């Protein structure tokens, strides 16, 4: 259905998220701690993203203006592909400018993932910078040749000295010890680690003046503002740093209470700018409004008229849609002429055209009847992943649409009208090549997610906000499957995608409720998760399962369940039975792991066994019935394997991979198992040893940083080694 609309639009696009009118109202006349407190109250409580999400945001905040697929690395200045993150010498790292060890906030939200403090950096250069404070001097870095360093300080290249200073100033003002956060403090010293301090203040103040904000830094501030909804005040107004830490006093003329009317002007609509202008020294003699469409060239000058008391106003003529107008006030008193902060507003275009509903675009079929056509449609943003977002026009099937629109970055809850080309991208209906973008309103309620079964994914729910309930995690190994894990509510498995915005650590066997838009790509259906509340603990309706069974010796078996179990039922020996004449004599629960029990059994000999479990309950009362687990017991379990002359792990600590080196005195079959400290098996392979040296290499796809146990077992014993992964 095509419907003709006239929309008078009310807000801004991402590209125009500059310093909005009145953002710094309340800072006028303040200095020192009073000004820092005022700024803190403006920029705190920002929308927090994970450290994981920073890679996506930095694609846009640190984009190379000459190549949109690259970012600029902070210390080298090198332009590099924005997807080359890793641990290799020339890979990209996410550099914490305020080093995370200065206060020890690794993994602590929101500080750890605050993108105002994160910059893309060359990995080896980042390692050289380490957690050093900032100061002048030292030896030249061999790769980042504009940088110099000592054992306690780092001097960045001249082009980013001010950028670095303003990031450190932001962190001090943003994190003041409120809401349980750290109180970060910039100090005139170096080498105060691990205190929550960073220096050297006097040098940073010099750099702030030496290297003022440029277009690259201003764009970075605007992009991060579009995500986090807070700004770095010291980029907008570098003089704030001198007022807080440099001993500068406020000027005699104060500008405050900025406002515009209308708040959201549209194509051709005149705008009245109002502000209070006062002087503590003498009477104001002249007030003018300077404005233009280039922040560095405000070449239009209009006199401002008093509207009563200290208030002044002037009118800026109507401008064309999709124009950003910048303005500031110039005032004179007996001490001289002074200028206000520069603010801006965006003139929205007016949409006067025909709307095709999302329902009609989807066409209730695999392919859209509008494929290849340019259409306009409307909906509310239900998810945003930086390069793409989803919109939906009401709840239910056939009402969702995928939008490919890199860098626009609308907020969830925005109501939009967009114009673009409909395409079937590998059987996914999407709108791309966006030629018209109209923001109507913000903070709209989202459509209720459609409740579906995990086995119900299909065209009707493509790009629709959906929810699955009480779905058991059947595969938690997302690292080896393109960041996707699996859930099943009994109707079939469903993929859940840990996106570039939010990463969730699922637990195998645990029940979850999962919400998000249903996406289709690479011939797979998956729920895209957007934030923490998209994954909730589900109601547990399934009994526990055996995750791992390990015969410790001939009189003990370790059983690991997929979830915590009820101690009374789990330690009742009558609930377990073994074949081959072996009896379960008693059961003990692990001292602190409530999903692990030890069965004390009569003597086992080498051979195959079946353990049968009945009536063991989880904490929700779900009971196991006649669950059989087969296992093989290989012998006495002595600590040294006959026929093995030596076993080594290298490198240890390991990063991307490690190697098990075994010197064998005879040919034999062995099994290599890698387990975490709870005993959960993470990697396992069977191998054949030949006389001499044998090497087996493991890639660390499954292992995050931590300590692991590598177990080598054969028919005549076991060997254990500790492995550290960084």
Sign for the CA dihedral angle at 191, 195, 199, 202 comes to negative
Looking at residue 42, what is its pLDDT? 96
For 4, the token pair is 């003709």
Query: 41-55 pLDDT, tens per residue?
Result: 999 999 888 888 899
Give the per-residue pLDDT at 677: 62
What is the model's pLDDT at position 679?
67
Higher pLDDT, 446 or 3: 446
> How far from chain centre, in Å, is Cα 569?
42
Instruction: Single out the residue of 376, 374, 321 nearest to residue 347, CA to CA.
Output: 321
Backbone angles phi, psi at 544, to 5 degrees: -65, 160
- 104-121 mean pLDDT: 95
Quote the pLDDT of residue 652: 84
All structural domains of the chain:
30-245 (no CATH), 250-347 (2.60.40.10), 357-441 (2.40.50.200), 450-537 (2.40.50.140), 546-633 (2.60.40.1220), 644-725 (2.60.40.3080)
Given a cut of 50, whether residue 14 has pLDDT beyond it is no
pLDDT single digits (tens) 541-557: 789 999 899 888 788 89
pLDDT for residue 441 is more than 90: no
Above pLDDT 90, what percent of the chain? 72
Q: Is the pLDDT of residue 638 over 50?
A: no
Q: How far apart (Å, rounded) are the C-alpha atoms in residues 171 and 187?
A: 12
| Sheet with 133-134, edge to edge strand ranges | 133-134, 153-155, 148-149, 139-140
Q: What is the mean pLDDT of residues 489-494?
A: 93
Residue 328 has pLDDT above 60, yes or no: yes
Ramachandran class of 170: left when φ > 0, alpha when ψ lies in -120 to 50, beta otherwise? alpha
pLDDT at residue 18, rounded to an integer: 66
Classify each residue of 447-466 as buried b or exposed e, where b means 16 or more C-beta atoms within 10 Å of its C-beta. bebbebebebbebbbbbbbb
Whether pLDDT at 2 is above 70: no
271-284 residue pLDDT tens? 999 999 999 878 89
Pure H helices in 175-291: 201-210, 215-228, 233-236, 239-245
Measure the N-to-C terminal CA separation of the chain; round to a whole number of Å: 57
- From 138, 206, 141, select the one nearest 168 (Cα to Cα): 206
Give the pLDDT score at 7.
44
Cβ–Cβ contacts within 10 Å for residue 581, how many?
9
If we measure between CA atoms, which residue out of 84, 101, 106, 97 comes closest to residue 126?
97
pLDDT of residue 702: 64
Tokens of residue 281, six digits: 């020294």
**Residues 568-616: tens digit of each pLDDT:** 999 999 999 999 999 999 999 987 788 999 999 999 998 999 999 999 9
Radius of gyration of the chain (CA): 31
The reply to whether the predicted model has a pTM over 0.85 is no
Per-residue confidence (pLDDT) for residue 644, from 0 to 100: 86
Q: How far apart are the C-alpha atoms of 672 and 661, rounded to whole Å?
A: 11
pLDDT digits (tens, 9 = 90+) for 654-673: 887 889 999 988 899 898 98
Give the mean model confidence (pLDDT) for residues 361-375.
96
The 10s digit of each residue's pLDDT in 345-363 is: 999 888 889 999 999 999 9
Q: 525 with 427: CB under 8 angstroms?
A: no
Contacts of residue 296, defined as CB under 8 A and 6 or more positions apart, other chains included, come to none
Overall average pLDDT of the 450-479 stretch: 95
In this prediction, residue 264 carries a pLDDT of 85
For residue 310, which of 273, 275, 285 has the smallest C-alpha distance?
275
Helix axes 161-174, 201-210, angle to 10 degrees: 120
Q: How far apart are CA 375 and CA 416, in angstroms?
A: 14
Nearest-angstrom CA–CA distance, 220 and 218? 5
Name which of 172, 151, 209, 152 is nearest 98 in CA terms: 172
SS3 call for 567: helix
Q: Can you tell me whether residue 573 is helix, strand or coil?
A: helix
Dihedral sign (CA 219, 222, 223, 224): positive
pLDDT tens, 170-213?
999 999 999 889 999 999 999 999 999 999 999 999 999 999 99
pLDDT category, 676, cuts 50, 70, 90? Answer: confident
Mean pLDDT over 465-481 rounds to 94
pLDDT top residue among 571 and 409: 571
Q: What is the mean pLDDT of the chain?
A: 91
Are the C-beta atoms of 514 and 529 separated by less than 8 Å?
A: yes
Biggest CA pair distance of the chain: 105
Mean pLDDT of 8-37: 75
The pLDDT assigned to 5 comes to 43
Separation between Cα atoms, residue 446 and residue 449, nearest integer Å: 8
Written as six digits, the tokens of 94 are 């996410």
pLDDT at 186: 98
């Amino acid at each position: 259905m095509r419907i003709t609309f006239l929309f008078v639009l009310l807000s801004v696009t991402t590209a125009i998220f500059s310093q909005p009118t009145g953002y710094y109202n309340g800072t006028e006349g303040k200095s020192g701690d009073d000004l820092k407190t005022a700024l803190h109250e403006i920029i705190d409580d920002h929308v927090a993203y994970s450290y994981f999400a920073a890679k996506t945001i930095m694609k846009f905040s640190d984009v190379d203006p000459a190549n949109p697929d690259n970012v600029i690395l902070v210390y080298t200045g090198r332009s590099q592909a924005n997807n080359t993150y890793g641990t290799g010498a020339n890979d990209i790292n996410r550099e914490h400018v305020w080093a995370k060890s200065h206060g020890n906030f690794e993994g602590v939200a929101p500080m750890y993932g605050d993108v105002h403090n994160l910059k893309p950096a060359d990995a080896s250069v980042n390692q050289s910078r380490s957690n050093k404070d900032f100061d002048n001097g030292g030896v030249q870095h061999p790769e980042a040749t504009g940088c110099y360093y000592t054992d306690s300080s780092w001097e960045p290249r001249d082009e980013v000295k001010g950028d670095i200073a303003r990031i450190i100033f932001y962190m001090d003002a943003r994190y003041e010890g409120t809401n349980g956060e750290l109180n970060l403090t910039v100090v005139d010293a170096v080498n105060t680690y691990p205190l929550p301090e960073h220096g050297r203040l006097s040098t940073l103040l010099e750099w702030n003046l030496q290297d003022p904000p440029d277009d690259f830094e201003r764009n970075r501030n605007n992009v991060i503002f579009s995500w986090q909804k807070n700004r770095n005040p010291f980029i907008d107004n570098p003089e704030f740093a001198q007022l807080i830490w440099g001993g500068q006093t406020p000027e005699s003329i104060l500008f405050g209470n900025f406002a515009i009317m209308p708040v959201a002007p549209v194509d051709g609509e005149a705008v009245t700018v109002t502000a209070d202008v006062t002087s503590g020294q003498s009477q104001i003699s002249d007030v003018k409004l300077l404005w233009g469409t280039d922040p560095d060239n405000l070449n239009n000058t209009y006199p401002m008229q008093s509207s009563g008391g200290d208030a002044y106003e002037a009118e800026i003529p109507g401008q064309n849609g999709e124009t950003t107008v910048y303005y500031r006030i110039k005032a004179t008193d007996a001490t001289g002429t002074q200028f206000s902060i520069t603010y801006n507003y965006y003139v929205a275009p007016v949409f006067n055209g025909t709307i095709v509903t999302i329902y009609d675009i989807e066409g209730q079929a695999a392919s859209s009847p509008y494929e290849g056509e340019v259409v306009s449609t409307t909906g509310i943003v239900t998810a945003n992943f930086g390069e793409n977002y989803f919109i939906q026009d009401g709840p239910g099937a056939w009402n969702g649409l995928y939008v490919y629109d890199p860098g626009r970055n609308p907020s969830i809850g925005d109501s939009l009208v967009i114009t673009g080309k409909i395409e079937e991208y590998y059987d996914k209906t999407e709108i791309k090549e966006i030629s018209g973008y109209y923001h109507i309103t913000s903070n709209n309620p989202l459509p209720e997610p459609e409740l579906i079964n995990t086995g119900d994914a299909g065209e009707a729910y493509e790009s629709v906000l959906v929810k699955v309930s009480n779905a058991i995690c059947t595969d938690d190994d997302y690292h080896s499957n393109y960041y996707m894990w699996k859930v099943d509510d009994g109707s079939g498995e469903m993929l859940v995608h840990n996106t570039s915005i939010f990463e969730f650590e699922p637990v195998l066997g645990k029940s979850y409720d999962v919400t998000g838009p249903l996406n289709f790509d690479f011939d797979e259906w998956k729920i895209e998760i957007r934030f923490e509340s998209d994954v909730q603990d589900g109601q547990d309706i399934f009994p526990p399962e055996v995750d791992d069974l390990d015969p410790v010796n001939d009189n003990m078996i370790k059983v690991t369940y997929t979830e915590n179990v009820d101690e009374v039922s789990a330690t009742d020996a009558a609930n377990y039975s073994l074949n081959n004449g072996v009896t379960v004599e008693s059961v003990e629960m692990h001292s602190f792991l409530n999903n692990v029990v030890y069965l004390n059994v009569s003597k086992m000999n080498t051979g195959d066994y079946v353990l049968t479990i009945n009536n063991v309950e989880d904490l929700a009362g779900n009971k196991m019935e006649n669950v059989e687990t087969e296992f093989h017991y290989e012998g006495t379990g002595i600590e040294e394997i006959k026929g093995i002359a030596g076993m080594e792990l290298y490198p240890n600590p390991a990063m991307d991979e490690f190697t098990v080196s075994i010197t064998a005195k005879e040919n034999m079959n062995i099994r290599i198992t890698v387990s975490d400290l709870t005993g959960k098996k993470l990697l396992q392979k069977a191998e054949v040893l030949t006389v001499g040296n044998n090497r087996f290499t493991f890639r660390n796809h499954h292992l995050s940083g931590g300590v692991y146990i590598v177990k080598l077992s054969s028919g005549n014993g076991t060997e254990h080694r500790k492995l550290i992964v960084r």
